[in-house]
Amino acid sequence: MKRILEVVGFLLLLWGVGGLVHEWFDGFRMWTVVDKLSWFDGYEIYANIVLAAAGLALVVAAERSGRTAAHARGSGDS
């Protein structure tokens, strides 16, 4: 489960940051997920910020869940 959260979080973070780079510098066209959805017309920057923040939160949550699981097993590594 930790690996799935890490992968999904990394993809969300990558899409969010790639979308922001595309909006600001007109680069990374391949990584624009929000730009392809018509619901966010006019709000692409905000949606990309939320996408990147959600991805970062998932990566941090995955890391913390892995640490607490290792601590519960008594491995002592943190």
Q: What is the pLDDT along the chain (78 residues), one digit of tens a residue?
A: 889 999 999 999 999 999 999 999 987 777 788 888 888 899 999 999 999 999 999 999 999 987 766 666 665 555
CB atoms within 10 A of CB 24: 10
> Which amino acid, 54?
A
Residues 6+ apart with CB under 8 A from 23: 35, 44, 45, 48
For residue 74, the model assigns a pLDDT of 64
Could you tell me the pTM of the whole model?
0.78
Displacement of CA 12 from its chain's centroid (Å): 3
Residue 43: predicted pLDDT: 93
At 8 the pLDDT is: 95
The pLDDT score that the predictor gives to residue 72 is: 62
DSSP assignment, residue 3? Answer: H
The helix (H) or strand (E) run that includes residue 18 is helix 2-25
